Structure 1
């Protein structure tokens, strides 16, 4: 099959979230397959530096709204000077510039793709018009269903799960650096959690700490001032540890015995797949894209987001049964192979080729 010329567009300054890392990994896999990949990025940012360090070709875009004139100009200029088969935008503010640039430059042969990674439906007539003219990649069945209910007739949609670089998540080769950093004892039961929805999920964390005196919770990501204040005023503050922004998430998971992800509105949940790849039993909410990653009881448990006692019970099942915990972890490692970035990239390439006819 012919090699494609692809422009990947993501208007984020750093690689601290799942979507940013997913976009970079997708670009890597596409290039590994022989495709000609260019990245549209904000100049002078961490993301830009990382891309340049790997010798990716780049074009500049700037921060701004969906109709940022400079971004439309920059992509149009690229299209006038280069052959391009695919323009793929990965965040909401990036959606309109590639489509408008395609129209302005009369690049009828190019196909515009957008990644849809939020559960809420778009709003307004302009959105219905927009999604009739692009190829939408939904990151989960939940997102796909939302878009099906919203989109106008003729909309082109695919459901492709995001992937992780499995080679970066090897339990036996990873140092439990945060367990060492916080001087945890061998008998401490460490639960890894994320900073998202912290105000809503803090009650779950406190109930778990109340139920298990030897439990400690490590939290990845930056917390807001009011969220830090919640911890400081908690009777369990000495058992909650903030890890901040983490570059090597494998070390975070390796420091824990379990991964807790009570997600309120997660479109997919790459962190769940990462934790599984690291052999951690997982407990997550039974709604949203994160609930699609595994079957209940296979490598962890899914709980109604409003059932605080249910989360405590699920943690108890795993914590109090080491044999079960080991079995769930081993199953998770095997299931995580379904979410390897190579699998995602192959599905994406198939979608690209199908759009070109």
Structure 2
């Protein structure tokens, strides 16, 4: 199996330190930091799995975008990530701040092609649950149910 490659999309104050650490570990040729880029979706579409080792995460818009592109997600069980990943049919949850668990889950997804295919197939279905159309339809259902309860249905 080919060696794993890590693509860090974006830029930030830790970039130089991350690149230096990769070189020091002898994997500098397998770690690429894109810097600021408008083509995040293009990078996601070329990936096999999204790692989200967050320590704090809101609703996880980037995760939903990755799922919509059919990309399995391995994410830390913090903030909104468990809600986004749901029952695990589209990715894996790992404990936060547990690099060994993150590495094991990423390796599992990378090595198991049938698993990766199942997760990838379920990912867009899961992402659809977060679409604005679905959210609006759910809100209409709630309002309709409340109106019926109050005898306001026409």
State TM-score, norm by structure 1.
0.36
How do 1:46-65 and structure 2 match up within 5 A?
none
Task: Give the 3-state SS of the residue equivalent to 1:336 in structure 2.
Answer: helix
What's the offset of the Cα at 1:267? 1.2
8 Å CA contact 1:273–1:339 kept in 2: the answer is yes
The one of the two structures with greater contact order (alpha-carbon pairs below 8 A, sep at least 6) is: 2
8 Å CA contact 2:55–2:97 kept in 1: the answer is no
8 Å CA contact 1:282–1:301 kept in 2: the answer is yes
State TM-score, norm by structure 2.
0.79
Q: Check if 1:304 corresponds to 2:95.
A: yes
Structure 1, unaligned runs of 5 or more: 1-186, 189-213, 352-357
Question: Which one has the bigger strand percentage?
Answer: 1
How do 1:157-306 and structure 2 match up within 5 A?
214-224=3-13, 226-234=14-22, 235=25, 236-306=27-97
Task: Give the 3-state SS of the residue equivalent to 1:301 in structure 2.
Answer: strand
Question: Which one has the bigger helix percentage?
Answer: 2
Q: Please give the alpha-carbon distance, in whole angstroms, between the structure 1 residues aligned to 2:104 and 2:126.
A: 24
RMSD: 2.4
8 Å CA contact 2:53–2:97 kept in 1: the answer is no
Q: Check if 1:320 corresponds to 2:108.
A: no
What's the offset of the Cα at 1:320? 1.1
Q: Please give the alpha-carbon distance, in whole angstroms, between the structure 1 residues aligned to 2:21 and 2:101.
A: 25
Larger radius of gyration: 1
